[in-house]
Copies of this chain bind each other. A is one copy, B any other.
Amino acid sequence: MLTGEADLMTRAHTTPQATTAGTAFTTALIRLTQHVEQVFGEVGRERGLTPQQAHVLCHLVDGPIGMADLSRRLHLEKSSVTGLVDRVERRGLVARVRDDRDRRAYRVALTDEGSRLACETHEAVNQRLERLAADLAPAERDGLVATILRALPPPP
């Protein structure tokens, strides 16, 4: 059975609600998401990192972050972050540094080696994702960004 775009558009006129096939919008979103994850996967694997480790390193590029903050940004439980950080620390890419102001807290910071790898990873991810915008005029691009940010719930 063929279910191309024409079919989707035709049905959109008869039954406005999505039934089982989903809308073109959600389908596009989900495919986009898969692509982004695949980019993290490939870029990571080329450097001996899991996709999740690549994510963590990219978050640390802007400076050290506490575990709780990392947990919020990655939408993971604290204990999951503990394990994630354990593994990249074991590989010498990050270090836990005590927070001066709050003696309960650590700040996760990139080591020299981690910093190199993180920047490289961050660069590569950005380059590959930038390709998606290659055909867009600057105005279209800005509009797209604005649209996405407006639609997304505010960061925690």
In the complex formed, the residue of B with least CB distance to A41 is B75
> How many copies are assembled?
2
In contact, B132 and A152 (Cβ under 8 angstroms): yes
In the complex formed, the residue of B with least CB distance to A123 is B18
A139 touches B (CB below 8 Å)? no
Contact with B along A118-142 (1 / 0, CB 8 A): 0100110111011111111000111
B32, B63, B147, B151: the one within 8 Å of A152 (CB): B32
B136, B145, B155: the one within 8 Å of A24 (CB): B145
A64 to B126, CA, bound (A): 36
- Interface size class of chain A, counting residues whose CB lies under 8 Å from the partner chain: 35 or more
A76 to B63, CA, bound (A): 33
A41 to B75, CA, bound (A): 10
A79 touches B (CB below 8 Å)? no
CB distance from A113 to the nearest CB of B (A): 16
Q: Would A125 and B26 be within 8 Å (CB), given that A32-B32, A63-B1 are in contact? A: yes
In the complex formed, the residue of B with least CB distance to A132 is B151
Contacts of A35 in B (CB 8 A): 152-153
* 7 nearest A-B residue pairs (beta carbon): A132-B151, A33-B36, A28-B148, A26-B129, A33-B33, A28-B145, A18-B126
Show 6 A/B contacts (Cβ-Cβ < 8 Å), sorted by A: A23-B130, A28-B152, A29-B36, A31-B149, A32-B32, A144-B147
